[in-house]
Structure 1
Amino acid sequence: LNEHLFANLRHAHELIAGWRNDYNHHRPHTSLDGLTPWEHHQRSVEDQTLNRANS
């Protein structure tokens, strides 16, 4: 985002939304063992569901 000049607020919103989507759904994070934040979230939800079923 530091590389962009925004023509207007709508343009900024569109670029930021695209960046946020890429960051959360397509870029693996080393702090999450190579998962994207979305994949990490999904695994967390699945783990919680399994834990409830096994309780």
Structure 2
Amino acid sequence: MEDVEITSSVTFLLRDQAIIRYRVLSNLHLIARNQLKMVEHLLAEILEKSIMSA
């Protein structure tokens, strides 16, 4: 049986959930819409670092 790396799949799910939550907040105008790309970039960086440290 092959070893399957689960980390990246879980990380992508977490990232997607964070982005979806951010977009919901953005739609409620709690967060400025022009900050969406910056937040997505920061989330991607944080998740990449967490993958590398795992």
TM bracket, shorter-chain basis = 0.3 to 0.5
Relative to its length, the structure with more helix (as a share) is: 2
Which protein, 1 or 2, shows the higher relative CO under an 8 Å CA cutoff with sep ≥ 6? 2
TM-score for the superposition, normalised by structure 2: 0.39
- The structure with the larger Rg is 1
